[in-house]
Amino acid sequence: MKGSFTRPVCETPGCGRPSRFNPYAVVRQNSRWCEPCRNRWRRWGDPRQSVLQMKALIPIVRKVLGVIERDRTTKIAAGASQLCLNLRDHVEEVLADLERGQTVWRWTDRACREILRCLRENEPVKCAAVAGALFLLRERAPRTFVSEEAWVHTFVRSWRKMLSDTAVGSYWDHREQKVHKVYKELPWQVVQNMGQLLITTFAPLGARLILLEQRRRGKLGQEAVKQSLDAGFEDLLKSKRKKGPSPNRYVPTQQHKQRMSESIKRWWSQRKLAQKKS
């Protein structure tokens, strides 16, 4: 590009645009990217992260809700609700501190307000189920999230999108004659704060759901794999090896033997002819 020879190229693989240029800025991680990649980083936590569509998440949410319903002891539902109540207590304490005049970081304040809004609008079980579904999705398709930061951002975005009506706005498109929905972005720091709170709160539920799925799928843990290998080798040592030829040895058929003898005879006659000529 003309005039861009002094600028380094954006670090996103396959981007190729010149990186953002600001001679007065402190060189930081995000100054290695171009402006579009920087916007993507702010929105998704990583410029390489792609959109997580709700149609991929909704079936898993239904599945988690089904698991909670099928539990006869109703302890899963009680535990999930308790996680939400704990989170709500913490968030309300932070907001009460703010009202009393204590110093609270601005981004923490906004993150707490956003979480409280989602918790008020929905039932606690649903809030927990959506979070659990996101953990399950990460277990099923780990490549959906390109990095840890992208995971945090996508988690917060999807959780908020599913639970808050105010997180999504809409506008009328005159050209296409239909309503378009738009997600209302939060500042990067707010998302980080929300992500920390949400992931630490719902991690116990997510871990149990992942374990349940792994057991159902028959995917054994490291210890179980060792045990099954040991049992197999023990059995081999106990059983005596049979004498005689191996069952896997190739036994030539009558047809094969005949063909072999014919080819040997042919070769022998050809050799004799060659000796006579010489």
Q: Which region among 9-17, 93-101, 174-182, 224-232 touches Zn ion (by CB under 5 A)?
A: 9-17
Nearest distance, CB of residue 182 and Zn ion, angstroms: 23
Residue with tokens 């307000």: 113
Q: Shortest distance, CB of residue 164 to Zn ion, whole angstroms? A: 31
- The tokens of 42 are what? 């702010």
Six-digit token string for 108? 């923490």
User: Which region, judged by CB under 5 A, interacts with Zn ion, from 28-36, 93-101, 171-179, 252-260?
Assistant: 28-36
Site residue total, Zn ion (CB under 5 A): 6
Instruction: Give 61's contacts (C-beta < 8 A, 6+ positions apart).
Output: 129, 130, 133, 162
CB of 151 to Zn ion, least distance (A): 21
For Zn ion, the binding residue among 20, 34, 108, 136 (CB under 5 A) is 34
Q: Where are any strands of DSSP class E within the chain?
A: 168-173, 178-183
3-state SS, residue 178: strand
Does 12 interact with Zn ion (rule: CB under 5 A)? yes
Q: Which of 4, 8, 9, 10 binds Zn ion (CB under 5 A)?
A: 10
Q: Residue 169's beta-bridge partner residues?
A: 182
Min dist CB 30 to Zn ion, Å, is 11
Which part of the chain contacts Zn ion (CB under 5 A), choosing from 34-42, 136-144, 148-156, 221-229?
Answer: 34-42
Task: Give 256's contacts (C-beta < 8 A, 6+ positions apart).
Answer: none
Print burial letters for 43-58: b (CB count within 10 Å at least 16), e (below 16): bbbbbbbeebeeeebe
Q: Is 15 in the site for Zn ion (CB under 5 A)?
A: yes
Minimum distance of Zn ion from residue 183's CB (angstroms) = 22
Please give, one letter per residue, the 3-state secondary structure of 155-177: HHHHHHHHHCHHHEEEEEECCCC
Q: 39 or 166, CB closer to Zn ion? A: 39
Rounded least distance, CB 13 to Zn ion, Å: 9
Site for Zn ion, rule CB under 5 A: 10, 12, 15, 17, 34, 37
